[in-house]
Amino acid sequence: MPTIRVEDGRELMYAEWGEPNGVPIFSLHGTPGCRLNRPAEEEKVAAEGVRLVTYDRPGYGGSDRHHGRQVVDCVGDVEALADALGIERFGVTGGSGGGPHALAVGARLPERVFAVHCVVGCAPYEAEGLDWFGGMDPENVKEFGWALEGEDVLTEELVKEEAAARARVAEDPSTVLGDFELSGADRAVLADPRVHRIIMESIAEECRRGVGGWVDDDLCFVTPWGFDVTELTVPVEVRYGATDVLVPAAHGDWLAAHVPGAVVVKDSDEGHMSTPDRTIQELARLARKA
């Protein structure tokens, strides 16, 4: 996979999918994740006229770690990657842990971003009026509890979590999330063989250099993001599911109320994950905003 080197000397690994001459869209992966988290059927991405760019956030996959990073620090990385690829204007979509990062890019690069989709993204930890842990599955509460205890505790625990997830996926990719009490909608997505292939490819890659990227993601979600969502001036769609237990719907409600002019899509029957077909539809809708 190709790489670029950013201003501070770090190397970022990226990938491109779909139509090389299509509408450029950066897709920012979840937590944990990597550049291989992409739509299951690349030919459908191309058919929608989308040039999809993914990359490993620092510490994941083939990208060097950026220790102590904030959410906002992804802006410089995305801008450097866009420059290297000759992309002037682009859309940004981010799911789950990628959601706050997508909002940061839209907030700080309004002259280059034509629209942002924040899909099941979390709200800031210090968000006023939000019970951040309310409705969250105990497994996620436990993980962010480790983050609040500090980097050493979080690292030790995520090493064990990552090893356990690999072992589960080797037996059955649909069990990647282990003991989470998922909604029926999410269990249906995880039962899809198309999704299994992406899970198996990505889990082998995302922590191949260790859990540093995952650690840094969790830490940056429970500390100040480095920007405010009220800065956003570009078109933003906030989409989330009412039955989500990883990032509860209250987070989406908060973002919907605080991102200026956000178009809000709250799916009453959906959880945290999108079906492969829904993902393609979302990319096509974002591309039409170019």
- Give the pTM: 0.98
Give yes or no for residue 253 having a pLDDT over 90: yes
pLDDT of residue 1: 87
The string of pLDDT tens digits covering residues 2-18 is: 999 999 999 999 999 99
- CATH number of the domain that 69 lies in? 3.40.50.1820
Q: How many domains does the chain have?
A: 1
Q: How buried is 74 (Cβ within 10 angstroms: 0-12 exposed, 13-18 middle, 19+ buried)?
A: buried
117 and 90 Cβ atoms separated by less than 8 Å? no
The string of pLDDT tens digits covering residues 17-41 is: 999 999 999 999 999 999 999 999 9
162 and 207 Cβ atoms separated by less than 8 Å? yes
Furthest-apart CA pair in the chain: how many Å?
Answer: 47
User: Which residues form the domain of 142?
Assistant: 3-287
